[in-house]
Structure 1
Amino acid sequence: MLSYFHLGVFYFLLILVVVPAFGQEPISVGDDKRIIADANVWHELDYSFDTSNLESKNKLAILKEAYEYAAVVPSLGGKSGSYFTKVVLDISQKGQYFVVVNANFIDVGLASYSSPVQPELSTQVFSQLLDDSSPPVLHFQAVTVQTVMANERVELWLFIKAKQFPTPVSITVLDSTEFYRFQKFNNGISIAGITTMFILSLLALLIYSGTRKRVALTCAGYLGIHAIGWMAASGMLGDIVHFPFNTSYWGMLLFPFAIACAAQFVSDLFECKTDHKKLFKFLNTLSLVSVVLGVGMWFMPFSIAYLLSHLLAMFWIVVTIAVGVSMIRQQDFRAKYFLAGNLLYSASLGYYIAAHSQYFGELAYPESVVIFALSLDCLCILLCLTEWFKLKQKEFNRNQYLSRIDSMTQLGNRFSLTECIEALDDYYVIIFIDLDGLKAINDKHGHDEGDKLIIKAASLLQQSFYFLGDIFRSGGDEFVGVLQADSTRETRNVADSALSIVSNVSMELSKQWSDAGVSFGIATSLETKVPSECISLADKRMYQHKAKSKHPRSG
């Protein structure tokens, strides 16, 4: 049999468990914050409870009467409906205190308190759905408690109603100093993160307006929908614009559309349509499923929509990390920012989950941590976009170079020559050059030797005319020099210099190939009206020079 001692211990332990379960154990509040964990704190109320005119004393009387027989729930995490509780606070200092209810999806909330020195009830309405004067705290709801003397015992009643309580609903009591510090930090991080997402999405839109590249548009959708979703989920949207419905649920309902844009962005970023066809099909399928899911979720019970959004989020994180690692292994370094951002975001979600589990206790600022990490992730996404454009710019420059440069001689080709001619000013000299003896060298020594002659001639011409102008290869063994001047006198001097230079080049070539030589014709802007006439005159003079040359022209 149990001794009286054992019975005493049993009843003592029973009191410790039962009294807090009914919310009647006073919570002492000093200079620092006090947290009431969501463990047998909330009582379930009939969902049909009329939430209109909550300030009515009759409503409070109904709550007090229901308190005696309403069932206590172990935790509100994952539940929906109407719940209420009574908390008795022993407040050591007089002044203003704030009670923060750790829940965001609150359609209706009522707070009412009284004390022996303030028997008249003071009531406040707080919610995302109704107009209220509660202190603005993103992701949370807060009410004020004003004491008029030290060591005042306050009886506080709280009533909340929502379609979904995704996490345990703890209660935190803060003095004014702690509350404003908490409000400043919590709201500051959230506003900064959401604003960053909006700015980055606008930058992506500006990039799209200038480039018309689809990757910039899908990036803007990815960033912008995330920003709108978190703006709604945090309660900021409802604080700015009053809607007749609770916009905080939109964060979950818009999420699938963000994933649809994200999947398309990943497909565009890594050019999956041409380079990774299986991944392209998978991402297109994921986008379609996300859009269908996103539309359907608006017609589902929110608890199901909430679950589906979180399952989609976890699946997407796995996909992004797998894609990022795969692209890094393939040395596609566009993935470096993509992978870093998603790893950071994944870590923040892990912290968020831990903060709302019973194993880690209440961790600080879980929502703000996620928003901050997501804003950095969005920055990384925009950096991925810039890397994409850098790569495209390099490809463009390379193609531009190849389209304008002769691959054999590394001189400008006909396209470059045309651009140069179009940019000529008033004074210039055109020299038309044709190699002599190329056919004979090809016949005797083969085309490889003929190519060596062309390369050697190009090198000598480029070095010799370096300070006077540009040399272009206009055909097989034909070159055109475009030499610019600033005056009539300088034009004549440049023409004389060109005559001397090309003669020296001809002699240099004949030293290595006895059959080689150069025929040329020189014309200046002083002799013609337009560049095309000048080129024709130089070409004509080249033929005249070749006719006098002992080397027959060969092509």
Structure 2
Amino acid sequence: MRYTFNFICCLLFQTISFNAFAVALNQNDSLQLKSAMWRQVDLAKPTQGEQLVNAYHNVSTPVTSLYSAHGSAIAKISLTTVSAGRWYIIPQINYLDSGVAFYQDTSGIRKVADFSQDSASPSAIVMHSQAFELQLEANSHGVLWLYINAKHFAKPVSINVIPQSEFVKLQFYINSLSLVSITIMLTLACMALIMFFKTQHRVALFCAGYIGLHGIGWAFAAGIVALLFNYHAINTHYFGMYIFAFAIACASSFAYYLFNFDQHTRTGISRFLKYFSITALACGFLNLFLPFHWVFYLAHFLAAIWVYLSLKLGFTMLGMKDFRAKYFLTGNLVYSLSLVIFILSHLNLIEISSPELWVLIALAIDCICILLSLSEWLKIKQNNFIKALELSRIDPLTKVGNRLQLQEILDNLDNFYLIVFIDCDNIKSVNDHLGHAHGDKLLIEVTRLIQNALADIGEVCRTGGDEFICVCNVQSAQQLAQLTLSINESLNYIHQQVQKHWPLSGVSYGLASSEECNDYKVCLTLADQRMYTLKHQRKNKRQVQSQHA
């Protein structure tokens, strides 16, 4: 009787599964169905299984592939089970407006799942694709009817059938890596945006756009946005492709500012980057009025141009020893390789699991490299700023501080300080008799002597043609007295050393301390007066000596 029953079931199954794609399932089986199983139909989303059956039989021949097609299609798959179990059916479709599954056996036809991307209650969540559960008894025979509808089938539609244990692993693998990758991109975008608010550099803004728009686009495409906000009025999975053109515009603008093309003479590649940014931006707005399949092709065309452009730019700038390009090039090499794998898998030229995930992970790596290149740019900018700041505070001839640095020193004085006003005597006479080159040598030598004598106890600045000021911070009034004696001895020694080589010259100086003055301005005036007093005394002394001679 048992064999008779199985024989009758097989006959019935063969009757209802005429022209169907036949699959036999064991409990641990994982299958991928790629053969021509789809028939394109003109049918809105069905509510009854009979609608599918009638529409299917009204089309006599299946299509070889749904690649680049659009509209509705139906597949009929005959299933035979050896043992009871739960299997998950995963149609590999990037963009899907409607998807419905019915199961037909000897008891009739019933709806088993609505796996539309805009479904409010998906039976199973797998990012970048759809999935639904199918529970079957042992030795069951039936037909699985699948209905799909999309604005554009971006790749040949295959169907994976995997047992529950394998599905749980796959679901964790795909969903967790997708979430981590998108989170990395959005986090990096926020970091770049913070850099922009702090620095106001356009390169940081375009970096945030480059990374952030890619992250947001993939969040839409993977279905994260729809799940988070439970928004199903429209299919938000398409939005990622519409955002892509704006992301490419930001990427091109980022490269333009990263390598400082805005500051240099216009070159061919800089002009191309600028116009490519404008073109990509225009395409982004144009996409709003185009059918989705044109949006899809245009996005991939822009991606192909950007891959070539970014690699050419990276190698060119690296050849010019611009080491910002090392991160830029590394990221784009990884991203480009993933795109090649992605395209080859879509064309069924290579076998790879979840090609979208490969692109997403590569893009996350690319975004990390992009942020590193931005940090390198900011580091160079900061170093240049520090150098410029230092140069603005350094006297170019003597290499000591100038008036600007002196003012900063004076603004940060402690309670006890000593100000020394130093002047080179008769520098004009040296210039007139020996030439300005000798005058410069005199100033450099005086600076060297002052630095040797006073650099350990104070900071020396050149404030005019032949004037120097040394500011010394001390801890107590007692130290002021000791320091005054020491500086007097040092400056007298410097005066003697200068006169050995430049008899017409010498150094005059004046000292004033915080013990004598209420603030540094009074100290400066007092030290200046004392310097001129000493200068006049020495001048009068020389005049007396010359008269006696």
Query: TM-score normalized by structure 1?
Result: 0.90
3-state SS, counterpart of residue 478 of structure 2: helix
2:157 pairs with 162, 169, 174, which one?
169
**Equivalent pair of 1:22/1:41 in contact (CA under 8 Å):** no
Deviations 1:24-59 (A, max 9, x none): 32343451411111x31111111xx232xx4x4xx3
Contact 1:327 1:335 in 2 (8 A): yes
2:465 to 476, 494, 511: 476
Partner SS for 1:141: coil
How far apart in 1 are the matches of 2:465 and 2:79?
Answer: 96
**Structure 1: distance between partners of 2:439 and 2:282:** 67
Contact 2:49 2:109 in 1 (8 A): no
For the 8 Å contact 1:22–1:40, the answer to whether it is kept is: no
Task: Identify if the C-alpha distance between structure 1 residues 467 and 24 changes in structure 2 by more than 3 Å, giving closer, same or farther.
Answer: closer
Secondary structure of residue in 2 paired with 1:169:
coil
Aligned residue for 2:152, secondary structure, equals strand
Specify the alignment match of 2:329 in structure 1.
339
Q: 1:68 aligns with which of 57, 75, 88?
A: 57
2:324 aligned with 1:324: no
* Number of the residue aligned with 1:249: 238
Match of 1:15 in 2: none
User: What is the CA deviation profile of residues 476-505 of structure 1, one whole-angstrom value per residue up to 9, with x for unaligned ones?
Assistant: 221111011111211121111111111121
Aligned residue for 2:424, secondary structure, equals strand
- Residue 221 of structure 1 aligns with which residue? 209
Decide whether the 8 Å contact of 2:27 with 2:83 is kept in 1: yes
Maintained 8 Å contact 2:76/2:144 = yes
State the SS of the aligned residue for 1:79.
Answer: coil
Whether the aligned pair in 1 keeps the contact of 2:181 and 2:360 (CA below 8 Å) is: yes
Please state how far the C-alpha of 1:120 moved relative to its aligned partner: 6.6
Structure 1 vs Structure 2: percent identity of aligned residues?
37
1:300 to 287, 290, 295: 290
Selected match of 1:430 from 391, 401, 419 = 419
RMSD: 2.0
Query: Which segment drifts farther, 119-128 or 407-416?
Result: 119-128
- Aligned counterparts of 1:99 and 1:233: Cα–Cα separation in 2: 20
Q: Which AA in structure 2 matches 1:328?
A: L
Give the letter aligned to residue 481 of structure 2: R
Give the aligned partner of residue 50 of structure 1: 44
CA distance in 1, matches of 2:195, 2:179: 24
Per the TM alignment, residue 220 of structure 1 is displaced from its structure 2 partner at its CA by: 1.1
Asked whether 1:34 is paired with 2:31, we answer yes
Candidates 422, 425, 430, aligned match of 1:441: 430
CA separation in 1, counterparts of 2:81 and 2:503?
110
Task: Report 1:20-419 matches (<5 A).
Answer: 22-37=19-34, 39-46=35-42, 49-51=43-45, 54=46, 56=47, 59-70=48-59, 71-115=61-105, 121-149=110-138, 151-241=139-229, 242-278=231-267, 279-360=269-350, 362-419=351-408
Q: Secondary structure at the match of 2:151?
A: strand
CA distance in 1, matches of 2:102, 2:493: 103
Match of 1:14 in 2: none
Work out which of the residue numbers 485, 495, 504 in structure 1 matches 2:493. 504
| Separation in 2, partners of 1:199, 1:29 | 44
For 1:337-371, what per-residue CA distance to the aligned partner results, in whole angstroms no more than 9, with x for missing partners?
A: 111111111000001011112322x3112000001
AA at the equivalent of 1:44: Q
How far apart are the structure 2 equivalents of 1:243 and 1:31? 35
1:177-233, Cα deviation, whole Å (9 max, x unpaired): 110111111111111111111111111111111112221111111111111111111
1:420 equivalent to 2:422? Answer: no
CA distance in 2, matches of 1:133, 1:300: 29
Q: Deviations over 1:36-88 (max 9, x none)?
A: 11x31111111xx232xx4x4xx311222333342301011111111111112
**Deviates further, 286-295 or 479-488:** 286-295
Contact 1:32 1:178 in 2 (8 A): no
Contact 1:110 1:124 survives alignment (8 Å): yes
Deviation of residue 545 (structure 1)?
0.2
Distance 1:463 1:301 in 2: 78
| Corresponding residue for residue 453 of structure 2 | 464
Determine the C-alpha separation between the residues in 2 that align with 1:231 and 1:383. Answer: 23
CA distance in 2, matches of 1:188, 1:78: 30
Letter in 2 for 1:283: L
Query: Per-residue CA shift, 1:102-149, capped at 9, x if unaligned?
Result: 002111111122445x76735211111232332000111101111233
Length, aligned pairs only: 523
Q: Give the structure 2 partner of residue 455 of structure 1.
A: 444
Does the aligned pair in 2 maintain the 1:29–1:89 contact within 8 Å?
no
Q: Deviations over 1:488-531 (max 9, x none)?
A: 21112111111111112122223333333211111111111110
Equivalent position amino acid for 2:337 in 1:
A
Pick closer, same or farther for the CA change 1:276–1:346 going to 2, 3 Å: farther
Secondary structure at 2:190's aligned position in 1?
helix
Query: Residue type of the partner of 1:28?
Result: L
Following the alignment from structure 1 to structure 2, what is the Cα–Cα distance between the partners of residues 259 and 154?
48
Deviates more, 1:413-422 or 1:438-447: 438-447
Report the 3-state secondary structure (helix = DSSP H, G, I; strand = E; otherwise coil) of the residue aligned with 1:75: coil
How far, CA to CA, are the matches of 1:79 and 1:193 in structure 2?
30
Aligned AA (1:201): A
Structure 1 alignment gaps of length 5 or more: 1-19
Distance between the aligned counterparts of 1:440 and 1:238, measured in 2?
A: 85
Residue 332 of structure 2: SS of its match in structure 1?
helix
Measured in 1, the distance between the counterparts of 2:30 and 2:56 equals: 27
- Helix, strand or coil: the match of 1:165? coil
CA distance in 2, matches of 1:283, 1:86: 50
Answer whether contact 2:102 2:109 (CA < 8 A) is retained.
no
TM-score, with length taken from structure 2: 0.91
The whole-number CA distance in structure 1 between the counterparts of 2:24 and 2:88 is 14
552 and 80 in structure 1: CA distance in 2 versus 1, 3 angstrom threshold: farther
Query: Are the aligned partners of 1:99 and 1:143 in contact in 2 as well (CA < 8 Å)?
Result: yes
Alignment match, 1:9: none
CA drift at 1:412: 0.5
What CA deviation, in whole Å up to 9, does each residue of 1:306-344 have, x standing for no partner?
111111110111111112222222222211111111111
Secondary structure of residue in 1 paired with 2:144: strand
Tell me by how many angstroms 1:166 deviates: 0.6
Q: Which segments of 5 or more consecutive residues in structure 2 lack a partner in the other structure?
A: 1-16, 544-549
Asked if structure 1 preserves the Cα contact closer than 8 Å seen for 2:189 and 2:207, the reply is yes
Are the aligned partners of 2:214 and 2:247 in contact in 1 as well (CA < 8 Å)? yes
Aligned partners of 1:107 and 1:130 also within 8 Å: no
Q: Is the 8 A contact 1:546 1:552 kept in 2?
A: no
Whether contact under 8 Å (1:437, 1:552) holds in the other structure is: no
Q: How far apart, CA to CA, are the structure 2 residues paired with 1:134 and 1:273?
A: 52
